[in-house]
Amino acid sequence: MRNKNVWLVTLGILLIIGVGIFSFQYENPDSDTADPEEGLQNESQEETNIEKQKNPNGNEHFSVQHTEYPGEVTPDFSPEELIEPPSGNWLTNGGNIYNGRYSPLSKIDTSNVSDLKAEWITSMGTGLKFKYSGEATPLVYDGVMFNVTGENHVAAIDAKTGEFIWEYKPKLPEGLDTLCCGWVNRGVALGDGKVFVGLLDARLVALDQKTGEVLWETVVDEWEKGYTITSAPLFYDGKVYTGIAGGEYGIRGYVAAYDANIGRQVWRTYTLPEPGAKGSETWPEDSENWLTGGAPVWQTPAVDPELGLIYFATGNTAPDLDGSNRKGDNLYTDSVMALNADTGDYEWHFQEVHHDIWDYDPANPVVLYDVKMNGETKKGIAQAGKTGWVYLLDRTNGKPLVGIEEKPVPQNKNQKTSPTQPFPIGDSFVPQEITEEDIERDLPKEFNGKFGNIFTPFWDEPVTVKPSPQGGANWPPSAYNPNTELFYVLGNDNYFSYAHYAEDEENKFEVGKEWLGSIWQPVEKSPSRGTVTAIDIKTNKIVWQNDWDTIAYSGILTTAGNLIFTGHNDGRIIAYDATNGEKVWQFKTDAGANAPPITYKVDGKQYISIFSAGNSLAGTQHGDKIYTFSLEGKYGSLEDIPEEDITVSPAKEEMDFNQGKQEDKNEVSVDEGLKVYENNCLSCHGAEGAGGHNGPNLQDLNMNKEQIIQQIKNGGGNMPGFEDGLTEEEIEAVTEYIRSLSEEEG
């Protein structure tokens, strides 16, 4: 008994010591938000202030402050401040609330851009596993940069040196698996002394800008039902705006506004109308499509304060590829929408694709612009579609600024296709048809399937069409330069086949399960190409275009130095002359450059920066580094950079905890192979090996075990190798799982 008492006393002392090291913050279980004034205890250490916090739902997070915050904190920005093009800071995901990604900075221009060299390189230390993708746009305010990785790891970094100031990483639910397209986060928002970040488990979090400590946290929705957040929030007028991802899971899309001080919801507007509401007549009567029909909003909105409107584009209809049970145009899917920014009330919409069965949702962020046309200044909004067209609208009313014609399209009675589709006047920036010459040049000799043009429908026989569900334009943001009056857009050009198998058991709706309704897959042994295109904003005509031998999957920055910057899958950040498209500079990083570049100024010096971390859907080399360049930089190539000159997160070891579903490395079985598959292969190949975004159907795989292992290790085609990313046990396990898929079908 005495020994037991001694043990209890010792345990109590250890607990007291533990509480002295780690402080915990709890949300009020009766409230949706945490009180920012309560429960924040900071245990000081000599150089590092570490905080491990937990809320009642068990969602722990790690927070660490390395140095004193060196700059001023953001104010409650006025509309005028947020409209200004980013001339020193980079305040919003799109540079300003117009989303134009244009900077008036011009110290770096076409005459000296060839002198750009790397000034500093910082390793974030997270997001290296293949399931993560680096798509974030860093923000900069008063000499401090804020970045986030695919693991939802947020860092404040000295924008002059690359040194870490503080870091935050949440613990996401162990069962998190409702992510159609990889683990991504496209950025944070800044305002009123706070850093706002949306998490993959559909939480919205506010961090103290100086310390990284959690001020409040709100559950936006239930990830178990397919709702997630991948976009950067937007701060405007004391509110934080966010949309929701999850269109592949049969959700009901919406945009919501939250009070920036306490995290309480101010309004929520659904993008699927309830029965009897405007737009409900475009769905079958007496159905539940309005609850499961999709229309997510997974890009950062834009705002026009003068009009008081917030703008965004909505995502795909659900199920994506099966229109047989949703007759009608299916509003407000595949649409550009305008709402009252203060109340969320509907103002106008324009639908780009009626009754979508091709996953042609407008994934590209909307861009606001002002331009003189016929002697009159027009308030425009541009949206680059997966269709391969740019839609140029009057943002006061949603009417076309450059003509858009409704034209008849091929029909399929089973799919209940729309009789017409909108065709913008002007040029498409990717091919929209497949010709006999294309087949002969690009596809394997054994290809003998049906093929067609844009809007060609399909049913139980596979049909190959262009553009593919990758676009056209996908999520990588476009840019507009008011000096050249050109709109710059990245495009994808590849071959995808569609077929209808909606009666299969796995394609029936189930809450929290991916729900495509049919099958899509890339044509094996076919090329993937990309385009970088400049389009005249007044005519929608191509001024210049550069072709790539891979998809274009990063984003664009344009500046008053008559430049555009973009990232390439092979790791290069490239600069082009904005007027004629001539390549004027490049630098190759150590991973896929699959995020948009930014520019900013500190102490009179202009910098160019990009988060180069790779992308799962693009199949590129993964990494974790921010590369920042200036005319006074030291490193002309990757080989010039000494390892010791790369800043590495001091908290890298502490942040090495897993997110979501985990693999058990000690067992080799089909079940364990499924876990490896879900973390590394699902986004490309789809659930149970079918219906992915750019990988072939594994249920039809004709390879023996050794061939599968070699393919996993070495890659090939558009697939990267995993020899360095998976253990031998994991490769063995996932091989067995892949073999089981074809055996089940056979």
More confident call, 727 vs 191: 191
Q: Where are the beta strands (DSSP E) in 224-374?
A: 234-236, 239-243, 254-259, 265-270, 302-304, 309-313, 335-340, 346-351, 367-373
Specify the 3-state DSSP secondary structure of 639: helix
Least confident piece of the model among 77-91, 560-574, 720-734:
720-734
At 616, list the tokens.
């799962």
pLDDT classification of 725: cutoffs 50, 70, 90 = low
User: What is the band of 704 on the pLDDT scale with cuts at 50, 70, 90?
Assistant: confident
The answer to whether residue 533 scores a pLDDT higher than 80 is yes
- Give the pLDDT of residue 396: 98
- Averaged confidence pLDDT in the chain: 88
Lowest mean per-residue pLDDT among 61-75, 502-516, 604-618:
502-516
Mean of pLDDT values over 64-76: 97
pLDDT in tens, 15-31: 333 433 333 232 333 33
Give the integer Cα–Cα distance in Å for 224 and 512: 6
Which stretches of 251-310 are DSSP H helices? 289-292
pLDDT of residue 657: 79
Of 516, 505, 175, 125, give the one whose Cα is nearest residue 320: 516
pLDDT above 80: residue 696 = no
In this predicted structure, the answer to whether residue 643 has a pLDDT above a threshold of 80 is yes
Residue 47 pLDDT > 50: no
Range name among 40-54, 284-298, 416-430 with the lowest pLDDT average: 40-54
Overall average pLDDT of the 191-208 stretch: 98
273 touches 234 (CB < 8 A): no
Measured CA to CA in angstroms, residue 238 lies from 193, 235, 570 at distances of 11, 7, 41
Q: Residue length, the chain?
A: 746
682: confidence class by pLDDT, cuts 50, 70, 90? low
Residue 4: Cβ within 10 Å count:
8
Which pLDDT score, from 0 to 100, does residue 10 have?
41
586 or 505, higher pLDDT: 586
Q: Which domains does the chain have, with CATH numbers?
A: 79-505+517-648 (2.140.10.10), 672-745 (1.10.760.10)
pLDDT category of residue 665 using cuts at 50, 70 and 90: very low
Read off the pLDDT of residues 210-259 as tens digits, 9 standing for 90 and up. 999 999 999 999 999 999 999 999 999 999 999 999 989 999 999 999 99
Residue 65: pLDDT band by 50, 70, 90 thresholds? very high
β-pair partners for 143? none
pLDDT at 739: 73
pLDDT (0 to 100) of residue 690:
62
Q: Residue 724's pLDDT is what?
A: 65
Q: What mean pLDDT comes out for the span 384-391?
A: 98
Q: pLDDT class for 43, splitting at 50, 70, 90?
A: very low
For residue 243, what pLDDT is reported? 98
Instruction: Judge whether 600 and 609 are in contact, CB under 8 Å.
Output: yes
Least confident stretch, 400-404, 550-554, 683-687: 683-687
Is the confidence at residue 84, as pLDDT, over 90?
yes
- Mean pLDDT along residues 454-477: 96
What integer pLDDT is reported at residue 675 of this predicted model? 62
Q: What number is the average pLDDT over the span 384-397? A: 98
Give residue-wise pLDDT tens across range 50-61. Answer: 444 443 333 589
| Percent over 90 (pLDDT), the chain | 74
pLDDT of residue 505: 60
What is the structure's pLDDT at 46?
31
Q: Which residues are catalytic?
A: 359
- Strand-pairing partners, residue 392, are 382
pLDDT of residue 688: 60
pLDDT-wise least confident of 139-153, 391-405, 553-567, 708-722? 708-722
- Give the neighbor-by-neighbor strand order of the sheet with 367-373: 367-373, 376-384, 390-394
What mean pLDDT comes out for the span 57-86? 91
Q: Is the confidence at residue 503, as pLDDT, over 80?
A: no
pLDDT at residue 737, rounded to an integer: 73
Tell me what pLDDT residue 466 has.
97
Query: Residue 403: exposed, middle, or buried by beta-carbon count in 10 A (0-12, 13-18, 19+)?
Result: exposed
pLDDT value at 686 more than 90 = no
Residue 611 and residue 628: Cα distance in Å, rounded?
A: 9
Q: Which helix (H) or strand (E) holds 731?
A: helix 728-745
The pLDDT score that the predictor gives to residue 356 is 98
Percentage of residues of the chain with pLDDT beyond 70: 84
Q: Does position 585 have pLDDT exceeding 60, yes or no? A: yes
Q: Give the DSSP per-residue string, 385-406.
A: -TTS-EEEEETTT--BSS-EEE
CA distance 179 to 279: 28
Of 393-397, 470-474, 504-508, the poorest mean pLDDT is in 504-508
Place 517 in a pLDDT band, splitting at 50, 70 and 90. Answer: confident
Section 198-212 average pLDDT: 98
Per-residue pLDDT band at 96 (split at 50, 70, 90) = very high
pLDDT score of 516 = 86
DSSP 294: B
Higher-confidence position of 319 and 694: 319
CA distances from 269 to 204, 272, 632 (A): 17, 9, 48
Q: Is residue 513 predicted with pLDDT exceeding 90?
A: no
Query: What's the pLDDT at 59?
Result: 55
Q: Smallest Cα–Cα separation from 349: which of 302, 312, 303, 298?
A: 312
